[in-house]
Amino acid sequence: KQEVTQIPAALSVPEGENLVLNCSFTDSAIYNLQWFRQDPGKGLTSLLLIQSSQREQTSGRLNASLDKSSGRSTLYIAASQPGDSATYLCAVHSGGGADGLTFGKGTHLIIQP
Amino acid sequence: EAQVTQNPRYLITVTGKKLTVTCSQNMNHEYMSWYRQDPGLGLRQIYYSMNVEVTDKGDVPEGYKVSRKEKRNFPLILESPSPNQTSLYFCASSLVLPRVTDTQYFGPGTRLTVL
């Protein structure tokens, strides 16, 4: 059964720093991997989706990489801002149509002004 | 605006009183699903639906029912809620799974407390 682990569970950094969030998964047979952002009282917002054949995806200050063979992904946030404060979730889609996403427990990120 | 809506957003109820949480999407998505989120456990799938009249169990289906009579709606039914169903619930939809390019869109969540 697929398991997704996110490290660290919480992170607090000063504004302007570059940072890396880590995600690992146990079964490399995935269709894709997604990074989500969750804000209190709001739903999940998809940030980046990496297909299994891709190595990375970029959106603005965000860059996500995927190393499927080693079961790892990283989310790189450049020049962090207080508005980046949120919980970041990593999820993998392993199933052939039936299965849902398997989520990590998230990294709670605080950017200090 | 493309979105997934859930109602109610907050609900406090008592053990055994049947309730329904509605979910609706306006993107003509075929795939819809329900997740619950609990501290220390993350998000876990409850039920999913590949299309109208097609539903199946996810990882934690016990105590829940769903129906998919229309493409846009996917209500979650708790026939006899219990305190262990106190949780944050999310509805999600996507065009089709397992297309590798699909992104799942999530609703804003329903916070349910069962006393």
Q: Which residues of A5-27 are buried (b: 16+ CB within 10 A; e: fewer)?
A: ebeeeebeeeeeeebebebbbee
Confidence of residue B100 (pLDDT cuts 50, 70, 90): low
The span from the CA of B45 to the CA of A7, in Å, is 22
Report the residue count for chain B.
115
Listed in sequence order, the DSSP H helices in B1-115 are: none
Q: Say which of B40, B43, B101 has its CB closest to residue A103.
A: B43
The span from the CA of B70 to the CA of B53, in Å, is 8
A100 and B48 within 8 Å at the Cβ level: the answer is yes
Partners of residue B106 in chain A, C-beta under 8 Å: 36, 43-46
pLDDT digits (tens, 9 = 90+) for B44-75: 999 999 899 999 998 899 999 999 999 999 99
Tell me what pLDDT residue B99 has.
57
